[in-house]
Structure 1
Amino acid sequence: MNDHADARAHDRAGFTRMEDSTREDWQIIVPEAMKMAKALPDRILDHLRLLDGDFGGFPVDRLTHSRQTATLALKDGRDEEYVVCALLHDIGDTLGSFNHPDIAAAILKPFVSEENLWMVQHHGVFQGYNFFHHIGLDRHMRDQFKDHPHSHRTAEFVALYDNRAFDPSLEAEPLETFEPMLRRLMATPRNSIYKAAMQPAAQTR
């Protein structure tokens, strides 16, 4: 048995360069990719739990801040997509120390509307209005986006939810409250170059 055939016998593709891959190889890979995609909410919840107890000098830890932000949005009657965006807006804090909003936006991009994606990706500079002047930055940095159609939405998110979610006395729903919303949102991507390729595999499993 050659190396290529041996790899397939162990449920692995046999190529060493992607240009040499075959349809048979991808019949092995795509179902595995579907399993990984299906487990995305589990990995996200696991990463959120890593923020538990991580204060970083703030009045509440990062998980509590995330839960408080989402709780405020939920109690204000926001839809599930918005609430999940609120929950995940700072999930990149520990991975993207200099660009955490981009991490959250990258995770959410396949699943959310353009306006919610923009809101998450730019919330950092809008929140900066409240503290940039204390660290030597221009608090009016967000003004560069004042004519953008999603500027008001993002400023509102910060004012109503993100900015208020550093209060140790503020109640916050547990992660379990948001888990079904997260799973529903991520069950079907709306924006992905892989969407068409992955759906047939999901239907034939």
Structure 2
Amino acid sequence: MANDDTPRVSFTRMKDGTREDYQLLGRLEEAYVEGLPERILAALRGLEHTLSGYRVSRLEHVLQSASRAEDDGEEEEMIVAALIHDLGDDLAPHNHSQYAASIIRPYVSARVAWVIEHHGLFQNYYYIHHFGGDPLERDRYRDHPWYQDCVDFCERWDQASFDPDYPTRPLEHFAPMVRRIFSRPPFDPGIIGEAPTSTPDRPKGG
């Protein structure tokens, strides 16, 4: 048990917790959540030392993706989405898209979250045939209203952002955007909006 002065609950099983216990936890969680933007930035810095073999680091890749999105005049939430789209590479290598979408979903439109959730499958278009896969598997979503948004995300920013000579902006440039997006009220209906009422089954990969 930690030897600090943090107040602690009285229970060892959640079903035994009192109102005072849960009010305490609520206050502590609220304070902890306020630090989310800085934890996101720290996780992004960690991408400097992850998957190798490309001509740029994973951090440079996401910074370049965000830089390209900004250069194309995209709104701030899509720029931040481009910045965090590969945060799952370390802990969720087989479903990194869903991992990143889960992180950003409470703070952005349903459209942006959908694009991030599916970008891995759509990105397969460029290389999966070299492993015997189907590059057109993304076409299961061809009738989805955000299909083209995800195609564009991959074509314009994701697959193109491995260029060591591109004028990529540093993380410090995007830090204020990260702080603004991840300080929004979570699951605000005015931000999230509504997802389409019917969509195809979610792909297993990505």
Which TM bucket (shorter chain)? 0.7 to 0.9
**Alignment RMSD, CA only?**
1.4
Please state how far the C-alpha of 1:23 moved relative to its aligned partner: 1.3
Equivalent of 1:185 in 169, 181, 193: 181
Match of 1:148 in 2: 144
Match of 1:68 in 2: 64
Q: Which has the larger radius of gyration?
A: 1
TM-score after normalising by structure 1: 0.86
Aligned identity (percent) is: 42
Equivalences for 1:189-204 in 2 at 5 Å? 189-191=185-187
Please state how far the C-alpha of 1:170 moved relative to its aligned partner: 1.1
Quote the Cα distance in structure 1 between the aligned partners of 2:7 and 2:53: 47
Equivalent of 1:125 in 121, 133, 142: 121
Match of 1:11 in 2: 7
Q: Please, which runs of 5 or more residues in structure 1 have no aligned partner?
A: 1-8, 193-205
Q: Does 1:99 align with 2:85?
A: no
**Where do 4+ consecutive residues of structure 1 move more than 6 Å?**
none
Deviation digits for residues 103-144 of structure 1, max 9, x if unmatched? 101100110111000000000111110001012211111011
Please state how far the C-alpha of 1:54 moved relative to its aligned partner: 3.1
Quote the Cα distance in structure 2 between the aligned partners of 1:165 and 1:21: 50
Q: Does 1:111 align with 2:107?
A: yes
Q: Which amino acid aligns with 2:72?
A: D
Q: Which amino acid aligns with 2:131?
A: I
Please state how far the C-alpha of 1:64 moved relative to its aligned partner: 0.3
User: Is 2:69–2:157's contact at 8 Å kept on the other side of the alignment?
Assistant: yes
TM-score after normalising by structure 2: 0.86
Quote the Cα distance in structure 2 between the aligned partners of 1:142 and 1:36: 38
Please state how far the C-alpha of 1:10 moved relative to its aligned partner: 5.5
Q: Which amino acid aligns with 1:92?
A: G
Please state how far the C-alpha of 1:188 moved relative to its aligned partner: 2.1
Quote the Cα distance in structure 2 between the aligned partners of 1:41 and 1:137: 37
Quote the Cα distance in structure 2 between the aligned partners of 1:66 and 1:24: 43
Q: Does 1:24 align with 2:20?
A: yes
Q: Which amino acid aligns with 2:36?
A: L
Deviation digits for residues 124-176 of structure 1, max 9, x if unmatched? 11111000101221111101111111101000111111111011111211101
Q: Which amino acid aligns with 2:48?
A: D
Match of 2:169 in 1: 173
Quote the Cα distance in structure 2 between the aligned partners of 1:104 and 1:191: 16
Q: Which amino acid aligns with 2:135?
A: R
Please state how far the C-alpha of 1:55 moved relative to its aligned partner: 4.4
SS of the equivalent of 1:14 reads coil
Deviation digits for residues 66-115 of structure 1, max 9, x if unmatched? 00000000111111101000000011111111111011011001101110
Quote the Cα distance in structure 2 between the aligned partners of 1:90 and 1:135: 21
SS of the equivalent of 1:155 reads helix
